[in-house]
């Protein structure tokens, strides 16, 4: 079973993300401050995907995502879509990062997660 790290500043959203992910049989870990997400990401080798919102209490979701990419370039990331943030990811391979626009339906989240994991497995050979 795939394990996903969910990072979201809005305390309602992690519950929404996690409920959707759990319903499609993914395990998940939650983090609210960005620094906690980076620490968790570094301590759990079994995390298959990082899902992040944009507005956090200490760092932006894109800052956390970019730090995780620097530390673990093979870990795929799904982040809230904002044009200004998307530009920061130009140098990141498309198989590593995906963007999710809110509001979204559960089927959209599921499709994005599965697509990222599938393309990442094809690229990394997992």
**pLDDT, tens digit (0-9, with 9 covering 90-100), for 91-108:** 777 777 888 887 778 888
Chain-centre distance for alpha carbon 105: 16
3-state class (DSSP) for residue 42: helix
Return d(Cα 68, Cα 29) in angstroms, integer.
15
Report domain extents, the chain. Answer: 3-124
Return d(Cα 16, Cα 49) in angstroms, integer.
17
Average of pLDDT values for 86-93? 74
Is the pLDDT at 122 greater than 60? The verdict is no
Q: What is the Cα gyration radius of the chain? A: 13
101: exposed, middle or buried (Cβ count in 10 Å: 0-12, 13-18, 19+): exposed
Q: For residues 39 and 62, which has the higher predicted lDDT (pLDDT)?
A: 39
In words, the CATH class of domain 3-124 is alpha beta
Minimal CA–CA distance to 113: which of 47, 66, 55, 67? Answer: 47
Whether the CB-CB separation of 64 and 45 falls below 8 Å is answered with no
Is the pLDDT at 8 greater than 60? The verdict is yes
């Amino acid at each position: 079973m795939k394990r996903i790290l969910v990072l979201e500043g809005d305390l309602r959203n992690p519950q929404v993300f996690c409920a959707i992910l759990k319903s499609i049989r993914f395990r998940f870990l939650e983090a609210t401050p960005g620094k906690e997400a980076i620490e968790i990401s570094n301590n759990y080798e079994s995390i298959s995907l990082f899902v992040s919102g944009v507005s956090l209490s200490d760092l932006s979701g894109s800052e956390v995502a970019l730090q995780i990419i620097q530390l673990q370039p093979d870990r795929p990331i799904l982040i809230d879509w904002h044009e200004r943030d998307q530009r920061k990811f130009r140098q990141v391979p498309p198989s590593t990062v995906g963007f999710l626009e809110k509001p979204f339906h559960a089927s959209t989240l599921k499709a994005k997660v599965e697509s990222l994991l599938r393309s990442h497995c094809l690229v990394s050979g997992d």
